[in-house]
Structure 1
Amino acid sequence: MSKSGLTDQLKTRLKGHVGKYKGCSGWLVWDEPNRVEMFRAAETVRWLKKTWPKTLVYSNAYPMGATANRYYGGKPPADGYSYEQYLRDFSRIVGSDVVMYDAYIFREGGGTGNPFPTMNTARKVALDTASRTGRSSSRTLTSGEVTACRANRMSACRSLPI
């Protein structure tokens, strides 16, 4: 996705991809958007869902461990900006079909403390979103969608439906 957002040029390029790759079943919109960038990503997510409603449209959030400035995209509010709030904003603003993030199971020095707190926070946000919006909280990725995630060379494809 273009950092300048959903342009006519980008729309033409995406339509060309669908014409060329008939098996297109999903779209990854932006990798790790901060809060400021989420609004541009959301515009593309809405357009893709409207244009190809049967495809999976998703984005990829930061995992737990970045700074509040990184999550927010600049100076965060005075009362802070937690990872949970970042994921809530990600879910609400971007509106993708799943809450997904990179999972780095083994960190530098062999630490493994990041994956489960990240997963639990994402689960909490996804369940709260499903409860609030009535959107399913039990969607499972198809084998084709998992293959698409792998093809996009993500370190891992972790998703929680919303």
Structure 2
Amino acid sequence: MPVNPSLVDRAFPPTPAYLVGREKVREFARAVFADDPQHFDPAAARALGYPDVVAPPTFAMVVQDVTLQQLLAEPDSGIVLSRILHGEQRFRYSRPIVAGDELTGNLRITSIRAVGGNAMVTCEAEITDAQGAHVVTTTSLLVVGEDAA
């Protein structure tokens, strides 16, 4: 089944709040080789003006992944995980993510276009904190391969 073009402009419900834990930030920082002390040491982060350790910029993918799971669960999407290639990723931050944040994501499909036998699906997830203030908008381009059938 090809990607459903009616997905364009579809907005998904907010995700459950994700509580950013200090150890999760440290684990993620180690995984992406982000070795700045602000990612590990609360005192170093406070010296920079943050209330706790600061997540590396790509940590927003943890929350965005929950939003993308909503898209993959849509029975009419025509998108199958085994046919997806992550083509591009962008982040637009209002402020860094820090341990203690409670983040919620809202996914919207902004465009779908055909290229060769593939579909290029652009998704934006707006991630906000517990007060509803914008933290980061993530933009993903997913390349969905043709159905083999």
Structure number with the higher strand fraction is 2
TM bucket by the smaller chain? under 0.3
- Tell me the TM-score normalized by structure 1: 0.23
- Tell me the TM-score normalized by structure 2: 0.24
